[in-house]
């Protein structure tokens, strides 16, 4: 499906389909094993799958971030959120950010919330979540995420006396064969297409309104 959507010319349809497929990926019990493969990206197959999904998921900015959260690519998620400032922020966009915040509180992202305990090892996760917080208007989702971030502990208080013990936190040599710079450029390219398509639709609607008035 991701391969097919990559070639889809109806951008609005592609964005809607990506959102639907992402919801299935994150919530369906039948895809538990697939989520586990994507969560760690330990094998070449899982990394290839991530890249394949990512390219199609770029049709929808918020689902792209949720895919990065699922795969624990927190730095890339933060880089994507920084790009949101250049996008056209619509009501639908903010609604999807709201839904992502709700998903973060679901069991599927338990591991992500636990990683907030290790502040020093996951700075980009915290930055990404604060980025989402800054995007949101002061709504219930804003309050929910704000309260979660208030629970992030002070790193000084979390230090243990035994500093020689190796950390059990998530450590991964970022899959070196994944070109994150190229993926980010692909994201920008796809979003520029969506922006042009929205403006064209708005222009056609405006012309239609004028004809109706005349």
pTM recorded for the entire structure: 0.82
Q: HEC profile for 85-154?
A: HHCCCCHHHHHHHHHHHHHHCCHHHHHHHHHCCCCCCCHHHHHHHHHHHHHCCCCHHHHHHHHHHHCCCC
pLDDT of residue 175: 58
Residue 212's pLDDT is what?
A: 64
Q: Pick from 158, 182, 193: which is nearest to 15 by CA?
A: 193
Report which of 39, 35, 92, 93 is spatially closest to residue 61, judged by C-alpha positions. 93
Q: What is the pLDDT of residue 169?
A: 45
| 100: CB partners within 8 A, 6+ apart | 62, 65, 66, 132
Could you give the CA distance from residue 117 to residue 102 in angstroms, rounded to a whole number? 20
Q: How far apart are CA 54 and CA 39, in angstroms?
A: 14
| Burial grade of 122 (CB within 10 A; 0-12, 13-18, 19 or more) | buried
pLDDT at 88: 86
CA angle, residues 112, 114, 115, in degrees to nearest 5: 65
User: Per residue of the chain (214 residues), what is the pLDDT tens digit?
Assistant: 888 998 889 999 999 999 999 999 999 989 999 999 999 898 999 999 999 999 999 999 999 999 999 999 999 999 999 999 888 889 999 999 999 999 999 999 999 999 999 999 999 999 999 999 999 999 999 999 999 999 998 876 656 555 544 444 445 555 567 899 999 999 999 999 998 888 888 777 777 766 666 6
Residue 211: the pLDDT is 67
Q: In the numeric block, which tokens belong to residue 52?
A: 């394949």
């Amino acid at each position: 499906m991701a391969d097919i959507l990559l070639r889809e010319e109806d951008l609005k349809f592609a964005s809607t389909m990506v959102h639907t497929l992402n919801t299935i990926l994150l919530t369906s019990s039948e895809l538990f094993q697939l989520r586990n493969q994507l969560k760690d990206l330990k094998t070449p197959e899982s990394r290839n799958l991530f890249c394949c999904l990512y390219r199609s998921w770029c049709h929808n900015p918020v689902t792209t971030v949720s895919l990065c959260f699922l795969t624990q690519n927190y730095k890339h998620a933060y880089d994507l959120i920084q790009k949101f400032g250049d996008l056209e922020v619509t009501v639908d966009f903010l609604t999807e950010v709201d839904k992502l915040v709700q998903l973060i509180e679901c069991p599927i992202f338990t591991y992500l919330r636990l990683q907030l305990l290790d502040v020093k090892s996951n700075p980009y996760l915290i930055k990404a979540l604060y980025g989402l917080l800054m995007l949101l208007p002061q709504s219930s989702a804003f309050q929910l995420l704000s309260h979660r971030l208030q629970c992030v502990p002070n790193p000084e208080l979390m230090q243990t006396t035994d500093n020689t013990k190796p950390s059990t936190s998530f450590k991964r040599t970022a899959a070196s064969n994944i070109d994150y710079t190229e993926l980010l450029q692909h994201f920008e390219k796809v979003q520029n297409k969506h922006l042009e398509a929205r403006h064209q639709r708005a222009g056609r609607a405006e012309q239609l309104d004028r004809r109706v008035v005349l």
